[in-house]
Amino acid sequence: MTLTERIQIFFGKSGSGSKDAAKNRLLLVLQDDRLGLTGEKKEALRKDILAAIRKHLDIDAEGFTMEFMSSATDQKEMRVTAPVQLGRGAVNLSK
Amino acid sequence: MSGRAIVVTSGKGGVGKTTATANIGLSLASRGQKVVLIDGDIGLRNLDLILGVENRVVYNIVDVVSGRCQPRQALVKDKRISSLFLIPASQIDQKEAINADQMRDLSTQLKEEFDFVLIDCPAGIEQGFRNAVAAADEAIVVTTPDVSPVRDADRVIGLLQGSLGEPQLIINRMSMAMVKRGDMLDQQDVLDILAIRLLGIVPEDEAVVIAGNKGAPVVLNGGSPSGDAYGRIARRILGEDVPIPELNGHSSFAKRLGQFIFGR
């Protein structure tokens, strides 16, 4: 047994730990299942949010993506992140 | 007398519903309960085979509900435990040969005579599932610690909550070695995800395959880890407070320290 393996066992880890991937993927997919949040609905939401932001801010529409994340500790909580790229106009203004 | 009608369901096929139904039924019967098992999987009859009574099947559930025979005539009596009976599924009919009302009536009738009516639900969430659930007052959901059975179990739990209230969970085929390596969801992970009551954990066990081969479910031969697990599950169903052994695979600090120092 190598030292690394011994250290891993000491900290309670020895395999590839793929169960964390299973748990995270399940929490995410089940959140969508429970909410009835289909890919189509997500896309409609993405477009609405993009339109809402663009009413107030000059942002790049091309790369606008939204990520839905579940909380591992609280299944009643969902996080939606949508990083925005500032549009050309906004960037030029700041210069 | 009015017995308890319990449906054993899962959504996903192949997770051990039929094996669980047979073992829980035998276990309850061996504890003095009068038990009837109903094979709800019309068209894909299997509970008779798992119980090892396939050669004594004469009538089936479709014969009963269509009035071709009396319920009594369709009951196959177990030769090992005299208080266990089976109503087999039909192998040639379609799921639609029975409706939910007929299943409910049959179950009501059987509850007059039996302490437990256990219904082995077919996989899926279509007509066969609805029929099996209609016949029940309580539900047991079986899953294995894998992504697709857990997802399907969640769907089934959602469907059951509308009609039967909160089901209880059996986690089947738990491999201690894989849990220990962090390569299998442990009991806490599955409970975090599904958020229902745990009825029991059944370890992965070669004895189940051998039992299937012989038509002699594991609870009949004492000493197998899975058979013992089903025995504990039956006792919990009967209201006994039987602790669920920690099968989460985490070894103690002292053990890990030993492995760290001595390398084994």
The minimum CA-CA distance between B171 and chain A, rounded to whole Å, is 15
Amino acid identity for residue B195 in this structure: A
Q: Which of residues 127-156 of B touch A (CB under 8 A)?
A: 146-147, 150-151, 154-155
Whether A30 and B260 lie within 8 Å, measured CB to CB: no
B102: domain range?
4-262
Judge contact between B209 and B3, C-beta under 8 A: no
Instruction: For A38-88, write each residue's pLDDT tens digit.
Output: 888 989 999 999 999 999 988 888 888 888 877 656 667 778 888 888 877
Total tally of structural domains belonging to chain B: 1
Q: Which residues of A touch B161 (CB under 8 A)?
A: none
B264: contact with A, CB 8 A cutoff: yes
Q: What is the CATH number of the domain that holds B81?
A: 3.40.50.300
What's the pLDDT score for residue A55? 92
Asked if the model's pLDDT at residue A13 lies above 70, the reply is no
Pairing verdict, β B4-9 and B116-120: parallel
A75: contact with B, CB 8 A cutoff: yes
Tell me what percent of the residues of chain B surpass a pLDDT of 70. 92
Neighbours of B241 (CB within 10 A): 6
The minimum CA-CA distance between A68 and chain B, rounded to whole Å, is 17
Of A31-35, B25-29, B244-248, least confident by mean pLDDT is B244-248
Amino acid identity for residue B131 in this structure: N
Q: What confidence category does residue A17 fall into, taking pLDDT thresholds of 50, 70 and 90?
A: confident
What's the pLDDT score for residue B36? 98
Instruction: For B50-101, write each residue's pLDDT tens digit.
Output: 999 999 999 999 999 999 999 999 999 999 999 999 999 999 998 889 999 9
List alpha helices for chain A, DSSP H: 3-10, 18-35, 39-56, 88-94
Asked if the model's pLDDT at residue B13 lies above 80, the reply is yes
Q: What is the mean pLDDT of residues B5-21?
A: 97
Whether B183 and A17 lie within 8 Å, measured CB to CB: yes
The minimum CA-CA distance between B152 and chain A, rounded to whole Å, is 9
H or E segment and range at residue B176: helix B176-181
What's the pLDDT score for residue B202? 97
What's the pLDDT score for residue A61? 84
Q: What is the phi-psi region of residue B122: left when phi exceeds 0, alpha when psi lies from -120 to 50, beta otherwise?
A: beta
> Which residues in A15-30 are b (16+ Cβ under 10 Å) and which e?
eeeebeebbeebbebb
What's the pLDDT score for residue A7? 65
Asked if the model's pLDDT at residue B262 lies above 80, the reply is no
Q: What confidence category does residue A37 fall into, taking pLDDT thresholds of 50, 70 and 90?
A: confident
Q: Which residue is associated with the tokens 């995270």? A: A24
A23: contact with B, CB 8 A cutoff: yes
Whether B185 and A22 lie within 8 Å, measured CB to CB: yes
Asked if the model's pLDDT at residue B248 lies above 70, the reply is no
Comparing CB atoms, the residue among B147, B182, B264 nearest residue A15 is: B182
* Residue B73 CA, distance from chain mean position: 25
H or E segment and range at residue B77: strand B76-77
Mean pLDDT across chain B? 93
Judge contact between B147 and B153, C-beta under 8 A: no
Instruction: For B126-184, write each residue's pLDDT tens digit.
Output: 999 999 999 999 999 999 999 999 999 999 999 999 889 789 999 999 999 999 999 99
B181: contact with A, CB 8 A cutoff: yes
DSSP type of residue A86: B
Whether B181 and A15 lie within 8 Å, measured CB to CB: yes
Q: Which residues of B touch A77 (CB under 8 A)?
A: none
B105: contact with A, CB 8 A cutoff: no
Q: HSE (CB half, 13 Å, CA atoms) of B83? A: 16
Measured distance CA(B85)–CA(B59) in Å, rounded:
13
